Amino acid sequence: MENGKILVVEDQDAMRESLMIAFKDEGYQVEGAVSGEEAMHKFDNQNGYDLVVTDLKMKKVDGLEVLRAVKSANPSAEVVLITAYGTISTAVQAIRDGAYDYVTKPFRHQEILKVAKKALEKKSLRDRVRYLEGEIRDKYRFEGIVGNSNAMLEVLKITSHVCRTESTVLITGESGTGKELIARAIHYNSLRKDGPFVVINCGALPENLQESELFGHMRGAFTGAIKDKIGLFQQAQKGTILLDEIGETAQSTQVKLLRFLQDGEIRPVGGNKTICVDARIIAATNENLEKAVEFGKFRKDLFYRINVIRIHLPPLRERREDIPLLVEYFLEKILEKVRKGKRVFSKESMKALMNYHWPGNIREIQNAIESAVTLSKNETISAEELPLSVEKFSEFNEDMREDQKRKSFIVTSLAEQEKNAIVEALNKYGGNQTKVAQVLGISTTTLWRKIKKYGIRPQHEISDKGEK
Ligand SMILES: Nc1ncnc2c1ncn2[C@@H]1O[C@H](COP(=O)(O)OP(=O)(O)OP(=O)(O)O)[C@@H](O)[C@H]1O
Ligand SMILES: [Mg+2]
């Protein structure tokens, strides 16, 4: 039994009937249309066909028009064309327009059944991928975190797994990529959500104060310690601590952090008793901690304790497809705040936003939109109203990107030419590599390397495979 709903569009009755029977015999659900017009009418009624098999040459509405109508009614439906010998070039055009394949008259039923089966398999696979993508999107949605790029979906997937655990997490990424935002999402979606979320910016604490700020101190522990002080760690009981810029912690603090991660205990400065603290640690950094370990700036054992689960936030320029979503999101948020009328970005300004490289990542785009909205006088925000650094990219960078595309095109086509030359020569000289190297004026080693690089297989091996 096969699954799938097929529409057969064919104006010759005998042909249509016999095709319908052949598909029915395989277990498909089948309908027929005696003309292109009837087929069009059926799509209007949303009949949900998975596959349309249509004759190419029909009176009035031909197969190409049917193809277009199918694709516009339901882009995921597949189309297979039936062509006569003289119309193959049209069929090739049809493939460019999105048809799955064509069969040439006369054909055996087996042949078209095979093509139909493949087309339906492709469609069902694609539907499944779409469905799963949609599921991922819904499942890993966090409030206030925008992003639909694959890179971001991956981040959100790990984040949602991490919420259900107690593991220590290390979040890395350039400045402004959303490390703190992710840390908050982890805390507020974990079992600790009713406990405190304490952010400690290690970089902002002078080295000599770090220990006492983090772990507290006893009265008289040092000059100026006039009374006992509870440290930030203790304030985080039953909650989560974000150690921001962890790479900036002093060596002595690192030792104490390690102890805490090993046995959950801290000791206030000048105290002789240890205190148990029940807090989860999330560490964040925009530094390369591996390098810091290499240079002896960061303890290796502490690094291993922290680097249990790693979440890396890619810079915005590596996930440009998120830009329109972010623009829309921040625009809406800012309009709520500043009470201006409706605002939209002009084509040029959108181009600049898309092309700019955003070294300050999400924070920078947020600020850019806020400033543009505040400055804007009309409903349409022009490129000139964007911050100067961004504005410049409304013209400039697109050409640069075009240039790069051209360059890579030349590179591929040169490589392609080289590959073709080698394949041709190998065919001509029956796979004799010494002869081929000589003809092409390269050494046999170079030839061998190129054969490997381009994945060229010797002829006899190809024909071996073909016979199986
Ligand atoms: N995916 C996102 N969707 C919506 N807003 C985001 C996103 N990522 C970051 N932001 C916003 O961008 C700003 C910067 O994010 P955040 O402070 O989390 O970055 P960071 O990586 O901690 O930066 P830094 O290294 O400078 O501390 C915040 O206002 C945050 O809410
Ligand atoms: Mg931060």
CB 221 within 8 A of CB 270: yes
Ligand 1, pocket-test mutation among 312, 317, 363, most atoms within 8 A of CB? 363
Tell me the pLDDT tens digit for each residue of 354-400: 989 999 999 999 999 999 999 898 999 999 999 988 887 877 555 55
Section 80-96 average pLDDT: 83
Q: Looking at ligand 1, which residue's alpha carbon is closest to its atom 23?
A: 176
CATH numeric code, 408-466:
1.10.10.60
Ligand 1, pocket-test mutation among 150, 155, 362, most atoms within 8 A of CB? 362
Residue in the block written with tokens 């409030």: 143
Ligand 1, pocket-test mutation among 143, 180, 326, most atoms within 8 A of CB? 180
Q: Looking at ligand 1, which residue's alpha carbon is closest to its atom 15?
A: 178
Distance from the alpha carbon of residue 130 to the mean position of ligand 1, in angstroms: 29
Smallest-distance ligand from the CA of 362: 1
Q: Where in the chain is the domain with CATH 3.40.50.2300?
A: 5-132
Half-sphere exposure of 200 (CA within 13 A, CB side): 31
Res 464: pLDDT: 33
Distance from the alpha carbon of residue 257 to the mean position of ligand 1, in angstroms: 26
Q: Where in the chain is the domain with CATH 1.10.8.60?
A: 318-394
Q: Looking at ligand 1, which residue's alpha carbon is closest to its atom 16?
A: 178
Q: Pick the range with the lowest mean pLDDT from 216-220, 291-295, 383-387, 449-453.
A: 449-453
Polymer length of the chain: 468
Q: CA 91 to CA 103: how far, in whole Å? A: 9
Q: CA 168 to CA 148: how far, in whole Å? A: 26
Q: Pick the range with the lowest mean pLDDT from 97-106, 329-338, 388-397, 455-464.
A: 455-464
Question: CB within 6 Å of ligand 1 — which residues?
Answer: 144-147, 173, 175-181, 286, 362-363, 366
Tell me the pLDDT tens digit for each residue of 62-74: 999 999 999 888 8
Smallest-distance ligand from the CA of 243: 2
Could you tell me the CA-to-CA distances from 224 to 38, 47, 218, 272 in Å, in that order? 91, 81, 11, 19
Res 137: pLDDT: 63
Res 95: pLDDT: 87
In sequence order, the 6+-apart residues with CB closer than 8 A to the CB of 101 are 80, 81, 95, 115, 118, 119
- Indicate which atom in ligand 1 lies nearest the CA of residue 362: 12
Res 389: pLDDT: 83
Q: Where in the chain is the domain with CATH 1.10.10.60?
A: 408-466
DSSP letter, residue 281:
E
Res 463: pLDDT: 34
Could you tell me the CA-to-CA distances from 430 to 416, 419, 423, 443, 466 in Å, in that order? 21, 16, 10, 18, 18
Q: CA 136 to CA 159: how far, in whole Å? A: 12
Tell me the pLDDT band of 140, cut-offs 50, 70 and 90: low
Q: Looking at ligand 1, which residue's alpha carbon is closest to its atom 10?
A: 178
Distance from the alpha carbon of residue 344 to the mean position of ligand 1, in angstroms: 23
Tell me the pLDDT band of 459, cut-offs 50, 70 and 90: low
Q: Is the pLDDT of residue 151 over 60?
A: yes
In sequence order, the 6+-apart residues with CB closer than 8 A to the CB of 307 are 170, 289
Smallest-distance ligand from the CA of 141: 1
Q: Looking at ligand 1, which residue's alpha carbon is closest to its atom 25?
A: 175
Mean pLDDT, the chain, whole residue set: 88
Section 83-106 average pLDDT: 85
Select from 3.30.1360.70, 3.40.50.300, 3.30.365.10, 3.30.70.2860 the CATH code of 150-313: 3.40.50.300
Q: Give the N- to C-terminal CA distance of the chain in Å, as an integer.
A: 27
Tell me the pLDDT tens digit for each residue of 405-447: 455 445 555 677 778 888 888 888 888 888 888 877 788 888 8
Q: Where in the chain is the domain with CATH 3.40.50.300?
A: 150-313
Distance from the alpha carbon of residue 32 to the mean position of ligand 1, in angstroms: 56
Tell me the pLDDT tens digit for each residue of 320-357: 999 999 999 999 999 988 888 889 999 999 999 998 99
Res 465: pLDDT: 35
Higher pLDDT: 288 or 463? It is: 288
Res 44: pLDDT: 76
Res 402: pLDDT: 56
Q: Is the pLDDT of residue 117 over 50?
A: yes
Res 421: pLDDT: 80
Fold held by 5-132: Rossmann fold (3.40.50)
Fold held by 318-394: Helicase, Ruva Protein; domain 3 (1.10.8)
Q: Which amino acid is at 322?
A: D
Tell me the pLDDT tens digit for each residue of 224-241: 888 999 999 999 999 999
Q: Which residues of 267-278 are buried (b: 16+ CB within 10 A; e: fewer)?
A: bbbebeeebebe
